[in-house]
């Protein structure tokens, strides 16, 4: 099943999607906020089936919902829907800047001085990384005419590379500075981590190019040195009359302990991918076994995926429900979660984003090229058995407890 795509023409630098709004950073230093639901519905209302638009681009969790699986047991219904997706794939869905402007909520100067190195939206707050540090700005506020508050609050002055939010904390990759956590509330206490500031802890001094959450733990990937899992676990503590679960740092586990000799590895939630020049080895991470001394029980081998076509050095990776994203110097590939497809987009990308923590856009892959943003929508994962899948994060109705949803 081919992914659907919407192409937005323009010179973009970064993008985010959150609670029905599309945020676009332009290379000229401005930021536009757009009403995504209306943009999609209105622009393509006479061109594309409304149910497909809704499922593919507006409400990505619709087909995961309980009860839908029952309906798909009726092959006649399932085939009708698949046919609708197929027909949409054959259509070119294009949006130019003029059409985009019709759905503009606001356009403003970027609230921070520079083009962002990375951005992240969590709990109605935009976090922006630049060379000057990390900033927060409120979004979705009724008090301001702009989509993003014009007042950015600098949280820390460390030059960082990437940010990912969960558990009311920001996981931060700081290159040669190491890996950090910045806590957004006052209820944090990590006696075995180095405290940098009131709410900032250093998790590791080792080089980190990007960091992802693996349940309570962090997976740090590096283009330079060994990637590693910073293992955290939950501990029960007696506080006066009631028991509390506290997240506690356990240990650093380098990727060489999972698999000897890998060039680059990345992990998120229960999956870890370790790549060599022509294979990717997949491991399952078992968070509940993190306290066990035997690391074979923490990391369970699942499969080896051969990379038949050589596209050069892997420079980054990501994991979504719909599959595994692999970035090469001049291409972006997706190993689809149904196990039978490798989609390759043979063009160097400026930036790509996935939204596995969102409620409605977990099936999106946003890719920024020199002259356009392409919003891919993958729609095969609803029809496969989540228990046995090796490519991509397992979707479960209860995953929201372990993997807090953000929008």
Interface positions, 51-110, toward another protein (CB under 8 A): none
Shortest Å distance, C-beta 158 to another protein: 9
Q: Which of 176, 205, 244, 303 binds another protein (CB under 8 A)?
A: 176
**Beta partners for 394?**
none
Starting at the earlier edge strand, list the strands of the sheet with 271-275.
Answer: 264-268, 271-275, 279-285, 299-306
Q: Which of 2, 19, 20, 27 binds another protein (CB under 8 A)?
A: 27
Nearest to another protein of 80, 224 (CB atom): 224
Distances (CA, A) of 405 to 124, 205, 360, 361: 12, 29, 10, 11
Nearest to another protein of 38, 117 (CB atom): 117
Interface positions, 341-380, toward another protein (CB under 8 A): 348-351, 368-370
| C-alpha–C-alpha distance, residues 384 and 338, integer Å | 6
Q: Which of 32, 60, 147, 174 binds another protein (CB under 8 A)?
A: 174
Q: Which of 37, 118, 255, 270 binds another protein (CB under 8 A)?
A: 118
- Contacts for 252 with CB less than 8 Å, ≥ 6 apart: 204, 206, 228, 229, 230, 231
The DSSP secondary structure of 100-147, one letter per residue, reads HHTTEEEEEE-SSSS--SEEEEETTEEEEEETTEEEEEEBS-TT-SSS
At residue 77, the 3 state secondary structure works out as helix
Binding piece for another protein, criterion CB under 8 A, among 137-145, 149-157, 280-288, 326-334? 326-334
| C-alpha–C-alpha distance, residues 392 and 356, integer Å | 10
Interface positions, 264-323, toward another protein (CB under 8 A): 313, 315-316
Nearest to another protein of 131, 244 (CB atom): 131
The answer to whether the beta carbons of residues 17 and 366 sit under 8 Å apart is yes
Nearest to another protein of 197, 313 (CB atom): 313
Residue 10 engages another protein in binding (rule: CB under 8 A): no
The answer to whether the beta carbons of residues 378 and 334 sit under 8 Å apart is yes
Number of chain residues interacting with another protein (CB under 8 A): 33
Q: Which of 109, 197, 244, 330 binds another protein (CB under 8 A)?
A: 330
Q: Write out the residues near another protein by the rule CB under 8 A.
A: 11, 13, 27, 114-115, 117-118, 130-131, 159, 161-162, 174-177, 207, 209, 223-224, 313, 315-316, 327, 329-330, 348-351, 368-370
């Amino acid at each position: 099943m081919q992914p659907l795509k919407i192409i937005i023409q323009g010179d973009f630098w970064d993008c985010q999607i959150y609670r029905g709004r599309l945020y676009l950073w332009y290379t000229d230093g401005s930021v536009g906020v757009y009403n995504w639901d209306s943009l999609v519905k209105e622009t393509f209302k006479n061109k594309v089936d409304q149910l497909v638009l809704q499922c593919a681009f507006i409400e990505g969790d619709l087909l995961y919902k309980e009860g839908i699986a029952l309906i798909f047991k009726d092959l006649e219904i399932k085939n009708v829907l698949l046919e609708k997706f197929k027909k949409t794939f054959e259509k070119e869905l294009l949006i130019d800047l003029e059409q985009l402007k019709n759905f503009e909520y606001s356009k403003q100067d970027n609230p921070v001085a520079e083009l962002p190195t990375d951005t992240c939206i969590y709990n109605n707050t935009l976090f922006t990384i630049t060379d000057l540090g990390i900033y927060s700005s409120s979004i979705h506020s009724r008090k301001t005419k702009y989509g993003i508050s014009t007042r950015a609050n600098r949280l820390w002055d460390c030059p960082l590379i990437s940010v990912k939010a969960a558990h009311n904390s920001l996981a931060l990759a700081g290159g040669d500075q190491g890996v950090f956590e910045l806590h957004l509330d006052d209820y944090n206490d990590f006696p075995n981590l180095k405290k940098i500031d009131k709410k900032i802890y250093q998790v590791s001094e080792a080089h980190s190019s990007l960091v992802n959450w693996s349940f309570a733990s962090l997976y740090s990937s590096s283009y330079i040195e060994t990637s590693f899992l910073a293992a955290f676990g939950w501990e029960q503590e007696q506080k006066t009359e009631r028991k509390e679960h506290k997240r506690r740092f356990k240990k650093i586990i380098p990727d060489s302990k999972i698999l000897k000799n890998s060039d680059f590895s990345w992990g998120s939630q229960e999956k870890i991918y370790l790549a060599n020049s022509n294979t990717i080895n997949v491991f399952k991470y078992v968070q509940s076994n993190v306290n066990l001394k035997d690391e074979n029980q923490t990391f369970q081998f699942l499969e080896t995926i051969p990379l038949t076509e050589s596209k050069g050095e892997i420079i980054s990776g990501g994991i979504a429900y719909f599959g595994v994203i692999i970035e090469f110097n001049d291409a972006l590939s997706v190993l689809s979660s149904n196990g039978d497809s490798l989609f390759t987009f043979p063009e160097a990308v400026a930036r790509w984003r996935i939204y596995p923590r969102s409620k409605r856009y977990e099936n999106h892959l946003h890719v920024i090229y020199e002259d356009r943003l392409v919003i891919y929508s993958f729609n095969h994962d609803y029809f496969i058995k989540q228990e046995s899948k090796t490519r991509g994060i397992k979707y479960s109705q209860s995953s929201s407890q372990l993997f807090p949803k953000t929008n």
